[in-house]
Structure 1
């Protein structure tokens, strides 16, 4: 099953101590890249989150947002930055002595200064926190993957239809090329007859010119390769692995063959058909950019 690289998922989990909301979204990217936004107290869990997400998502730019709501804050503790507090006290005493101020420094006053008191999660409770957080991560990733699969199905349908159109147009070109060569022979013969009037015509010379023209406009090899690439695209859809990069390479080869065909065919109808083929290939190329 193919997957799009675009999707969104949300998950929640809770316990008596805290609750989590996890939101995850993905967009196109050549490789796997994860950016996590979470409370500072959860930073040490980022590697575990990254590993879990990367196990489910192989390609795409991933943004994950984690919100934590504390309950009774049993897992939190207040930490005093003693060196900073001492520095504040020293500065306040200097101000008191220099300007003859009333000394009213209190613990409450000191606690109001930035970074003197910090709320931190107890390290010994991180394992417990991970057990609470993981179900929310699992739910968010599951919902994300489901959406990517649904989008992938739409891409599969669209690309398959375009491959069918390409194959159909290639068949038309394949049938039409011999007719174009014969039409060229007839036009050339008529033109020579008009020029020479009643003089005799060298049939061998005419035949040689027709052969040269037919050789210049021959697209048999390009048609065989293009049809082979189309078959490869359909076959690749059945692989149980990320296929985006492989499809991107195949589509480049398809475009190369289509360009050659368009440059060789010496007929307005065939040129228009070749342009239709190139248009479908370009649409496929755009779609492939969003496949994991």
Structure 2
């Protein structure tokens, strides 16, 4: 599910900024972008995010500004610069040069050095960082909750559409066994006219086989899956994670519809099966956004 949450916390001259972005993903995948001295907080930050979000591809950006900045700083080695300048002046006197381009000194080795951030500075701002992460997570969740409400309504509409097509399937279901048995008996009768077999026993076998072509059980299980789907969507409105369970129910729905399609032997049923499977696929795509 998509979402965005940000936070800024300031204390003295220190400013902590967090941006947390989320896009659709079947599982939880979290990427951190933060100053190296704060990487020791990686597990704590991930645990904080996981406590609020269980699904989605998330990117967290952390910035630190101020006097306690944990970013590397450039240091000018003035003692080295003074030696270069003095040497340049002495060289000018000896060779009689009138001027010296002092900007060249900036490119000489040892003039600048990079100082890594102080670990103590990182420790001092640790509480601020974790507080900022927590606040960004809460704001992300709020945004995702709003989107989730809209998504829930869309899923319920699709479930209702499936239920309407299921009603038409149920009307046709009683005729499936009857039509199949009639066709089977006609074939058997034609066979018996040309061969000698126990007709009563064969007709009993036909009846049993025709019973196996009935789709009543599959229809009942589909009703159960749709009912459970609605129940889980109600739970999702209370911020309970239900995405994985919805995934499973959709797999079961597809299995039932495949069985009905193979048993149906009816143009009407085949048409409804194709339509329902199309609606189930729409459900599957949307459920990837549900936590």
Does the TM-score normalized on the shorter chain lie above 0.5?
Answer: yes
Between 1:231-240 and 1:110-119, the stretch displaced more is 110-119
In the alignment of these two chains, the number of paired residues is 265
Contact 2:172 2:268 in 1 (8 A): no
* Whole-Å separation in 2 of the counterparts to 1:241 and 1:225: 25
Query: What are the superposed Cα offsets for residues 235-289 of structure 1, whole Å, 9 maximum, x if unpaired?
Result: 2232664222221111111101011112222222222111111111111111112
> What is the correspondence of 1:90-109 to structure 2 with a 5 Å cutoff?
none
Give every structure 1 segment of 4 or more consecutive aligned residues whose post-TM-superposition deviation is greater than 6 Å: 74-80, 183-190, 207-210
Where relative contact order (Cα < 8 A, 6+ residues apart) is larger, the structure is 1
| Alignment partner of 1:173 out of 151, 169, 173 | 169
State the 1:64 CA deviation: 0.5
CA contact (8 A) 1:12 1:135 kept: no
Structure 1 portions without partners, runs of 5+: 90-100, 191-203
Equivalent residue, structure 1, for 2:129: 133
CA distance in 2, matches of 1:52, 1:131: 13
* Residue 139 (structure 2) aligned to one of 143, 147, 165: 143
Aligned to 2:157: 161
Structure 2 counterparts to residues 242-261 of structure 1, below 5 A: 242-261=241-260
Does the 8 Å CA contact 1:258/1:278 hold for their aligned counterparts?
A: yes
Return the TM-score normalized by structure 2.
Answer: 0.72
CA positional deviation for 1:226:
1.2
Do the aligned partners of residues 113 and 236 (structure 1) sit closer, same or farther apart at CA in structure 2, a change above 3 Å counting?
A: farther
2:192 corresponds to: none
CA contact (8 A) 1:22 1:65 kept: yes
Tell me the equivalent position of 2:287: 288
Q: CA deviation at 1:227?
A: 1.2
* TM-score of the pair, normalised by structure 1: 0.71
Cα deviation for residue 149 of structure 1 reads 1.4
CA contact (8 A) 1:251 1:281 kept: yes
Aligned counterpart, 1:66: 62
Question: For residues 7 and 40 of structure 1, what CA distance do their matches in structure 2 show?
Answer: 26
**Matches of 1:283 and 1:42 in 2, distance apart?**
43
Question: Which residue of 2 is the match for residue 197 of structure 1?
Answer: none
Aligned to 2:275: 276
Aligned partner of residue 218 in structure 1, secondary structure: coil
- Aligned-residue RMSD, C-alpha: 4.2
